[in-house]
Structure 1
Amino acid sequence: MGIFDFLRSKGAKSAPPSGNAPAVDKKIAGPAKVVADKRAQTYDRLEAIQALVDMKTPEAAAALLKRFNFTIDPSITDAEEKDLAFRGIVAAGKDVVPAVIEFCTKAEALTWPLKVLDAVLDDDAYREELLDLLEGFDTEYARNVEPKIQIIQALEEVVHEDVRTAVERFFEDVNETVRFHAVQTTFAQAMPESVKPLIDMLVNEESVRVKNKVAEGLLVRGWTIPEDRRDAVADALGDTGGYTVGESGKIVKRSLRFG
């Protein structure tokens, strides 16, 4: 039985009782506790999610956010529950944005809440919220870098000068994966103004993977390396997958020969 068949079969039991209705916060508290409980029975958690979805209020939507805090098996059930919660949150509209932002500042993973922001906000507002969230991160060591990476990845789909300048500071992040995604998002902006900071990063970068990503992006974009930086860039590319600086100042890739 799929999730939606189950919910239809439970519809009668999920309906609110007649008579005097309890206060809104009490109506939310019970289902919210079950939604946030990874160890709850699947059918109980589904019923609780649906109960909050049916309320269609920002308060109920905020409670649904807690379902994004954990993963269960099987993965298909996990995805179905999260998708149902997602649609319930989005149905509450822009009034839920403050709760989503607060959740993002504390969550271990941001994939689903960022999808909510993308769904309920216009392009400009979505960009500003992402940039505000990214501003809360520094480039030092962090136990969990996933939220930072996920914001940078989300910005890959948002082309704007403010995105370019905001992401470039993460070229100096201590985490190699953060630097890798910062480079990828920078190239997605397709702005030649990025050449200088990319070169500055490249000549000091230790990760071959990151250097290959920079070289690949410069090659694809066809951007020219300034003449006074070409020797330094060529030296930095010595341990990459065949990338070097051509006579024109553009990055070229030579075939590697073995044996």
Structure 2
Amino acid sequence: MGIFDFLRSKGAKSAPPSGSAPAVDKKIAGPAKVVADKRAQTYDRLEAIQALVDLKTPEAAAALLKRFNFTIDPSITDAEEKDLAFRGIVAAGKDVVPAVIEFCTKAEALTWPLKVLGAVLDEDEYREELLDLLEGFDTEYARNVEPKIQIIQALEEIVHEDVRTAVERFFEDVNETVRFHAVQTTFAQAMPESVKPLIDMLVNEESVRVKNKAAEGLLVRGWAIPEDRRDAVADALGDTGGYTVGEGGKIVKRSLRFG
């Protein structure tokens, strides 16, 4: 081997890898660590958030998602930081969607990531992503039901047959609050096809709050109870706030007399 071959060989071994990926990763890794640190100084965390926002890349946007994992005091500062992170993530467009979906499958709360999906996707895409996320939940006991509830609440704003059928299975959820919001989202769909599953839920429901929500919705929508189910529904509504089955099978509010 000649001297020039040796020098070329040594230079090739010591040269950094081609491309700019390592530099970009380093620019993301440092700020990402600070953004995810609840105990960091507010100034440092805001500076880190802004640094990632300025990068305007999907990778930086994905790192910003970590700011949604915790809250700080005062609440106005918490909201400012999250809003800045939100705007930085949205700026990355649809390229950040896979990272947002992955975050949603692990996060304790989904308020902000769902806002991101709503901002970067069109209505059909947004609906499909919400339904896919909801499909990942069952109706059994869960330590934290907030993500499930927040998806059901988000679907309340979208009227579609697929939403109706997806949400109805949560009438049987073991968590009372989940059932309550499932009923509320179902009425938001304004589809009479929901009458039968609502009746099935009502006659078996133990929560007065959920029964009142169902009765209120049936009254407002003016949906009639089939004749063969009226007695059962009337019995189920006996411990509610005065709801019963009236003429023509429609839910009515009884007048309450005192004294």
Where 1:10 maps in the other structure, the secondary structure is helix
Name the CA distance, whole Å, in 2 between partners of 1:204 and 1:11: 77
- Structure with greater Cα Rg: 2
Name the CA distance, whole Å, in 2 between partners of 1:130 and 1:182: 14
Name the CA distance, whole Å, in 2 between partners of 1:37 and 1:82: 13
Name the CA distance, whole Å, in 2 between partners of 1:188 and 1:49: 37
Measure how far apart 1:14 and its partner are: 31
Measure how far apart 1:23 and its partner are: 1.2
Measure how far apart 1:254 and its partner are: 1.3
Percent identity at matched positions? 97
Name the CA distance, whole Å, in 2 between partners of 1:41 and 1:112: 22
Measure how far apart 1:101 and its partner are: 0.1
Asked whether 1:216 is paired with 2:216, we answer yes
For residues 129-183 of structure 1, what are the alpha-carbon distances to aligned partners after superposition, in whole Å with 9 as ceiling and x for unaligned? Answer: 0000000000000000000000000000010000000000000000000000000
Where 2:252 maps in the other structure, the secondary structure is strand
Query: Does the C-alpha gap of structure 1 residues 55 and 145 become closer, same or farther in structure 2, counting only changes over 3 Å?
Result: same
For residues 40-92 of structure 1, what are the alpha-carbon distances to aligned partners after superposition, in whole Å with 9 as ceiling and x for unaligned? Answer: 00000000000000000000000000000000000000000000000000000
Name the CA distance, whole Å, in 2 between partners of 1:135 and 1:160: 16
What is the total number of aligned residue pairs between the two structures? Answer: 259
Name the CA distance, whole Å, in 2 between partners of 1:206 and 1:161: 27
Asked whether 1:58 is paired with 2:35, we answer no
Q: Give the conservation status (yes or no) of the 8 Å contact 1:180–1:210.
A: yes
Where 1:248 maps in the other structure, the secondary structure is helix
Name the CA distance, whole Å, in 2 between partners of 1:197 and 1:167: 11
Name the CA distance, whole Å, in 1 between partners of 2:232 and 2:206: 14
Query: Does the C-alpha gap of structure 1 residues 54 and 216 become closer, same or farther in structure 2, counting only changes over 3 Å?
Result: same
Structure 2 stretches lacking a partner, 5+ long: none
Query: Does the C-alpha gap of structure 1 residues 2 and 111 become closer, same or farther in structure 2, counting only changes over 3 Å?
Result: farther
Query: Does the C-alpha gap of structure 1 residues 17 and 47 become closer, same or farther in structure 2, counting only changes over 3 Å?
Result: farther
Name the CA distance, whole Å, in 1 between partners of 2:2 and 2:180: 39
Query: Does the C-alpha gap of structure 1 residues 9 and 241 become closer, same or farther in structure 2, counting only changes over 3 Å?
Result: farther
Measure how far apart 1:11 and its partner are: 38
Where 1:252 maps in the other structure, the secondary structure is strand
Q: Give the conservation status (yes or no) of the 8 Å contact 1:7–1:47.
A: no
Query: Does the C-alpha gap of structure 1 residues 6 and 90 become closer, same or farther in structure 2, counting only changes over 3 Å?
Result: farther
Name the CA distance, whole Å, in 2 between partners of 1:149 and 1:8: 62
Name the CA distance, whole Å, in 2 between partners of 1:44 and 1:142: 36
Measure how far apart 1:257 and its partner are: 2.2
Where 2:106 maps in the other structure, the secondary structure is coil
Name the CA distance, whole Å, in 1 between partners of 2:3 and 2:183: 40
Structure 1 stretches lacking a partner, 5+ long: none
What does 1:1-259 align with in structure 2 at a 5 Å threshold? Answer: 23-259=23-259
Name the CA distance, whole Å, in 2 between partners of 1:106 and 1:217: 33
Query: Does the C-alpha gap of structure 1 residues 240 and 142 become closer, same or farther in structure 2, counting only changes over 3 Å?
Result: same
Q: Give the conservation status (yes or no) of the 8 Å contact 1:7–1:46.
A: no
Q: Give the conservation status (yes or no) of the 8 Å contact 1:3–1:80.
A: no
Query: Does the C-alpha gap of structure 1 residues 157 and 2 become closer, same or farther in structure 2, counting only changes over 3 Å?
Result: farther
For residues 182-214 of structure 1, what are the alpha-carbon distances to aligned partners after superposition, in whole Å with 9 as ceiling and x for unaligned? Answer: 000000000000000000000000000000000
Q: What is the aligned-residue RMSD (CA, Å)? A: 10.8
Q: Give the conservation status (yes or no) of the 8 Å contact 1:141–1:174.
A: yes
Q: Give the conservation status (yes or no) of the 8 Å contact 1:14–1:51.
A: no
Measure how far apart 1:9 and its partner are: 48
TM-score by length of 1: 0.92
